[in-house]
A and B are shown apart, each in its own frame.
Chain A
Amino acid sequence: MSIRVGDAAEAPSFPRAARALLGNTQLRQNVRRATEVIRNRRARVVGELSDWEQLRQAGHEIKQHTLQYLDFYLEQFEEACTRAGGQVHWARDADEANAIILSILGARQAREVIKVKTMTSDEIGLNHALEAAGITPYETDLADLIVQLGDDRPSHIVVPALHRNRMEVRDIFLRKMHLRELGDKPEDLTNAARAYLREKFLRVGVAISGANFAVAETGSVCVVESEGNGRMCVSLPEVLITLVGIEKVIPRFEDLEVFLQTLPRSATGERMNPYNSIWTGIVPGDGPQEFHVVLLDNGRTKVLADTESRETLDCIRCGACLNACPVYRQTGGHAYGSMYSGPIGAILTPQLQSLEHSESLPYASSLCGACYEVCPVKINIPEILLHLRAKVTAAGDAPFEERVGMEAAAFVFEDPDMLALAQKLSRIAQKPFERDGVIRHLPGMLSGWTAFRDLTPIPKQSFREWWNERESQRGDQ
């Protein structure tokens, strides 16, 4: 099995990556500005719906139900899609998915492909595989194009280039589109992308897309988007390959009525995104005449098997949890070492690939709960983070200092006399670090604390000592 999530296995630990990014003021400003705009918009359009909580609950229950019968729904989807003229392929891991796609392209002798909604293809490293086979992939989502042309990495699951400002985008476009001049207004940049891509949309014969939803009952696929590049990719080329994570299936067409309300509002703060494309197999005289669906596992079954964290697979990739997360908003997405960043990345990446490659991610959260509050399918991310933390320590992967500290503390909390003694000893132990009633430097793991903050020393008398004193004085009276 070669389960992988991009090259997340080689990524540095979260604290290390974060430290470097925190020094990049431009990036932090860009991230902060962008997330603030989306959060405000989201809050406005979510606030309009008096039935928002019921929609969240229904979305959660639909997804949970689907996972409970996932085998049935995948087979049902396959059957319906095949009946409508599609071809369904099953890929257990990244390599298998890439091989399936390459063989379809090989049969058509394709040299170029256009791509849309390709986070899952990032996950399997498809672009590398294509390039290695001499095939040029063109990302068509404006943000993906900025990332691709800038040899960059996505930093957000919905707005992958939100860490770039217009001047940076202008520089990238000037260089990579071989333009003589280009304004720096967002309109100028958007027009440049339109001109650059239009020729490709009309000419390139094969597209690779992702999918937001795959309807089991009808075999239909739904792509939710704003720019029209999705429509271009799914309806102009002769051949369409759609890569779908197995968790994207939903039981019935009617279930879209929930997600098409919650997804746009959560993702971009719109009541409805400009375009949705829904198609079923092939239609003579309209759009691709060869349609392949690749159903991808790549670790999802592992997530499914753990009932405590199964609901991770409910995710509809709206990005609301990223925008709400105070940790994400400080660092941006690159710190998470994966295309899946923010709170969902912190739980998804470690579960898809093996935990030991990303054991710092479950700790990349202050557990403030903002992610759970906004999630349109009610994934209890803080709970899952705790579950994964317990797995890290159970695997013996926690740092030595921490383990010793935790065991010692647990020992002390077994016995109130021990606690009272520990309180006394700590007061003595802190003496060497105390100056004028403040502690400004501590050694070891705790040095991180005192690098930025003072520590008020432990007071002379604990509460329980005060209480005992008071009680005995009362007794005397």
Chain B
Amino acid sequence: MNERSEMLEGIRRAIGSRGSDRESDYASIRRGYHQALPIDLPECVHLFVDRLHDYDATVHFCPVEGIAATVAAVLSGRRKHSLLVPPQLPPDWMPSNFEFIRDTGLSYGHIDRSEGVLTGCAIAIAATGTIVLRHSAGEGRRALTLIPDYHLCVVFEHQIVGTVPEGIRLMSEFGRAPITTISGPSATADIEMTRIKGVHGPRTLDVILVA
């Protein structure tokens, strides 16, 4: 603990005297940036879809009662037969004729050999085309949406907010659950600044947008 107190002591010395008290100093930070976008929900959804297309994610649309059918259509189109799912994924999202394996502590090797994963999300941010996962029994632990090469994600329109500040405010209420934000499939531009889709995370991201 010696290093600790010495470091803190050094920091206090370096700072010297402070003008005001911390709370009021923090409150005086000017936050003149936009908190929300001046647009309504349909425009928000439109923007979100635009951003996803920018990232080369594929977007499918369906009504609430059509989730399972859309999942089936997307999987057939991708020639997939079996997906992993979080332990508490709503059963009515999973069409019959396909295999859904619940992750109840599968090994990394098992996840690695899977055809992909189906999850929902916590919220989505239109301005940046971001999907936010709150890792829990409903959206799965972190490895589940990371190791597979394919991620099919269900997003409800009412989950979409306009801006990053709106998104962060909601995320701040997630408690200690780990959070992953996903803005398009993994990518790198490390070689000659050429954007290459798909490095370590899922190389393909499909989104089902539920009205």
Contact = CB atoms under 8 A, between A and B. Distances in A.
A and B touch in the complex (CB under 8 A): yes
Contacts of B178: 235, 277-280, 283, 286-287
Given A34-B193, A58-B29, A274-B187, A92 B146 contact: no
Contacts of A142: 188, 190-191, 199
Given A146-B190, A186-B196, A276 B180 contact: yes
A283 to B, nearest CB: 6
B82 interface: no
Nearest to B22: A69
A58 B28 CA distance: 10
Interface stretch (B90-98, B114-122, B124-132): B124-132
Interface residues of B, number: 70
A67 B16 CA distance: 11
Given A187-B196, A193-B199, A271-B127, A58 B15 contact: no
Contacts of B180: 231, 275-278
A436 interface: no
Interface string B138-155: 000111001100000000
A275 B201 contact: yes
Interface string B97-111: 000000001001100
Q: How large is the interface on A (under 10, 10 to 19, 20 to 34, 35 or more residues)?
A: 35 or more
Contact of A253 (B51, B125, B127, B168): B168
A319 to B, nearest CB: 12
Contacts of B135: 283, 286
B12 interface: yes
A410 interface: no
A236 B144 CA distance: 10
A133 interface: no
A54 interface: yes
A37 B147 CA distance: 31
A272 B129 contact: yes
B169 A236 contact: no
A159 B189 contact: yes
A268 B184 CA distance: 14
A90 interface: yes
Given A38-B193, A65-B29, A91 B3 contact: yes
Interface in A173-216: 186-187, 189-190, 193-194, 197-198, 201-202
Interface string A13-31: 0000000000000000010
A229 B165 CA distance: 26
Interface string A237-261: 0000000001000011110111011
Contact of A54 (B30, B189, B196): B30
Contacts of A252: 172
Interface string B169-207: 101100011111111111111111110101111000000
A257 B165 contact: yes
A275 B128 contact: no
Interface in A262-313: 268, 270-281, 283, 285-287, 295, 297, 301-302, 304-305, 307
Contact of B15 (A70, A146, A286): A70
A235 B190 CA distance: 23
B18 interface: yes
B25 interface: yes
A332 to B, nearest CB: 14
B142 A304 contact: no
Nearest to B112: A202
Nearest to A285: B141
A161 B7 contact: no
A232 B146 contact: yes
A314 B164 CA distance: 21
A297 B32 CA distance: 32
A71 interface: yes
Nearest to A164: B191
B4 interface: yes
B196 A74 contact: no
A197 B186 CA distance: 15
B177 A166 contact: no
A65 B129 CA distance: 31
B8 interface: yes
A7 to B, nearest CB: 24
A68 B141 contact: no
Contacts of B51: 271
A297 B10 contact: yes
Interface in A319-354: none
Nearest to B145: A231
A67 B12 CA distance: 10
A186 B159 CA distance: 36
17 contacts: A34-B192, A61-B29, A69-B25, A71-B15, A75-B8, A84-B176, A143-B190, A162-B190, A194-B200, A235-B146, A251-B26, A272-B164, A274-B184, A279-B179, A287-B143, A295-B7, A301-B10
Interface of B: 3-4, 6-8, 10-16, 18, 22, 25-26, 29-34, 51, 55, 105, 108-109, 112, 125, 127-130, 135, 141-143, 146-147, 164-165, 167-169, 171-172, 176-194, 196, 198-201
Given A162-B193, A166-B192, A275-B201, 11 more contacts: A58-B33, A68-B18, A71-B11, A91-B3, A141-B190, A161-B190, A201-B200, A228-B186, A232-B146, A257-B165, A279-B178
Interface of A: 30, 33-34, 37-38, 50-51, 54-55, 57-58, 61-62, 65, 67-72, 74-75, 84, 90-92, 96, 140-143, 146, 159, 161-162, 164-166, 169, 186-187, 189-190, 193-194, 197-198, 201-202, 218, 226-229, 231-232, 235-236, 246, 251-254, 256-258, 260-261, 268, 270-281, 283, 285-287, 295, 297, 301-302, 304-305, 307
Closest 10 CB pairs between A and B? A228-B201, A228-B200, A54-B32, A305-B14, A272-B128, A235-B142, A227-B199, A286-B141, A228-B186, A272-B183
